[in-house]
């Protein structure tokens, strides 16, 4: 769901899915789950029991703003399974259909801190990973496989907004992102067919995150802040509502600190790769109050080998 220019468009939101998400009793809690990063640093929740993911249509014309009924039927079944295990996560979320990425359904919620607006987006990756799932029904040229899995790969992010774009009837039709990073392209390397671009996105993400992590804490591959959409976003590993609200003021303070320094930070990284020993980085970090880092003081990451001897990472992160 990459934005067009600086917008994330709200093309369609299914009322039945929104009703399902809101249907959990107020007292119900999310099941206890593990928080993990795979060998490619993709984040996932490991659920206490498997859920069934039904077949989904593979094809969708991106010019069509609404999904097919077959797609909605499959997504409603999936959301029903997910809300049974993660009611706190889905209770206040609304569906956001992205015609360009139908196998990564999105859900959103809006927040306001003082005069600033933030968009929370949760994306669930429904692509089958054959080595990690139990196949229930083979896929075809038209549909994905049906499978059972305990692993839910997701993206959970808070995004600062400039404003909400509304239609004549006052309904939100797009979220306009507050972009504060000018250009992350540095140059090129290689020759001929081996030419590739050099971008500073990864170094910016490390720079932002290391500023607000307690000094000396080693939590790779966890990065609380990252560069995306030409702005600074926050990764929320525990996606329930209470954890999102706890992360909001941290992001808000971080943006207030980073925005006036952004050109300087980009200038540093255009000239050299990120280093924690860079005096300019240390100077910025010395200005951040220790209280701003409290959310991350108990965060830890433990590497381990899974059943296939592949390296993964277990994340310990404060829960609500």
272 within a domain of the structure (yes/no) = yes
pLDDT tens track, the chain, 320 positions: 545 568 999 999 999 999 999 988 887 899 999 999 999 999 999 999 999 999 999 999 888 889 999 999 999 999 999 999 999 999 999 999 999 999 999 999 999 999 999 999 999 999 999 999 999 999 999 999 999 999 999 999 999 999 999 998 889 999 999 999 987 755 544 555 554 545 588 999 999 999 999 999 999 999 999 999 999 999 999 999 999 999 999 999 999 999 999 999 999 998 888 999 999 999 999 999 999 999 999 999 999 999 999 999 999 999 87
Would residue 218 count as lying in a domain?
Answer: yes
Alpha-carbon distance of 69 to 63, in angstroms, equals 16
CA triple 258-263-267, angle to 5 deg:
120
* Counted domains in the chain: 1
The verdict on residue 42 lying in a domain is yes
Whether residue 57 lies inside any domain: the answer is yes
In a domain, 150, yes or no: yes
Question: Contact, 196 vs 217, CB < 8 A?
Answer: no
Residue ranges making up the domain that contains 253: 7-316
Q: Containing H/E element for 270? A: helix 262-271
pLDDT value, residue 198: 52
pLDDT for the residue numbered 197 = 47
Q: How far, in Å, CA of 44 to CA of 33, rounded?
A: 10
User: Residue 8 belongs to what H/E stretch?
Assistant: strand 7-9
In a domain, 292, yes or no: yes
Q: Please tell me the distance from the alpha carbon of residue 318 to that of residue 218, in angstroms, as a whole number.
A: 16
Q: Are 315 and 222 in contact (CB under 8 A)?
A: yes
**Residue 101 contacts residue 8 (beta carbons within 8 Å):** no
pTM as predicted: 0.93
How far from 202 is each of 63, 150, 237, 269, 274, CA to CA, in Å? 32, 29, 19, 10, 9
How much is the pLDDT for 190? 52
Is 1 inside a domain boundary? no
Alpha-carbon gap, residue 152 to 126, rounded angstroms: 8
Looking at residue 195, what is its pLDDT?
45
Residue 2 lies in a domain: no
Confirm if 217 and 317 have CB atoms less than 8 A apart. no
> What per-residue confidence (pLDDT) applies to 18?
97
Radius of gyration of the chain measured on its C-alpha atoms? 20
């Amino acid at each position: 769901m990459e934005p067009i220019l600086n917008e994330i468009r709200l093309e369609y939101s299914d009322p039945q899915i929104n009703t399902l998400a809101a249907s959990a009793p107020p007292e119900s809690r999310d099941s206890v789950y593990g928080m993990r990063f795979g060998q490619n640093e993709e984040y996932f929740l490991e659920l206490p029991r498997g859920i069934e993911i039904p077949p989904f249509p593979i094809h969708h014309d991106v010019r069509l703003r609404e999904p097919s009924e077959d797609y909605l039927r499959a997504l409603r079944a999936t959301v029903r399974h997910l809300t049974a295990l993660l009611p706190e996560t889905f209770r206040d979320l609304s569906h956001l259909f992205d015609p360009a990425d139908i196998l990564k359904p999105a859900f959103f919620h809006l927040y306001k801190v003082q005069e600033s607006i933030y968009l929370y987006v949760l994306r669930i990756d429904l692509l089958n990973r054959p080595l990690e799932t139990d196949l229930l029904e083979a896929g075809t040229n038209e549909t994905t496989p049906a499978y059972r899995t305990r692993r839910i790969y997701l993206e959970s992010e808070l995004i600062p907004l400039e404003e909400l774009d509304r239609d004549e009837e006052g309904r939100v039709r797009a979220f306009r992102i507050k972009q504060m990073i000018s250009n992350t392209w540095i140059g090129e390397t290689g020759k001929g067919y081996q030419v590739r671009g050099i971008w500073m996105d990864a170094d910016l993400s490390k720079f932002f995150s290391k500023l607000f992590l307690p000094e000396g804490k080693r939590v790779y591959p966890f990065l609380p802040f990252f560069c995306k959409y030409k702005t600074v976003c926050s990764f929320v590993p525990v996606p329930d509502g209470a954890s999102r609200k706890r992360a909001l003021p941290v992001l808000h303070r971080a943006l207030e600190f980073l925005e006036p320094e952004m050109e300087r930070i980009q200038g540093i990284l255009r000239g050299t790769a990120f280093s924690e020993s860079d005096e300019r980085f240390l100077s910025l970090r010395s200005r951040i109050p220790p209280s701003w880092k409290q959310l991350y003081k108990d965060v830890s990451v433990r590497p381990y080998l899974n059943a296939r001897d592949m390296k993964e990472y277990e994340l310990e992160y404060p829960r609500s």
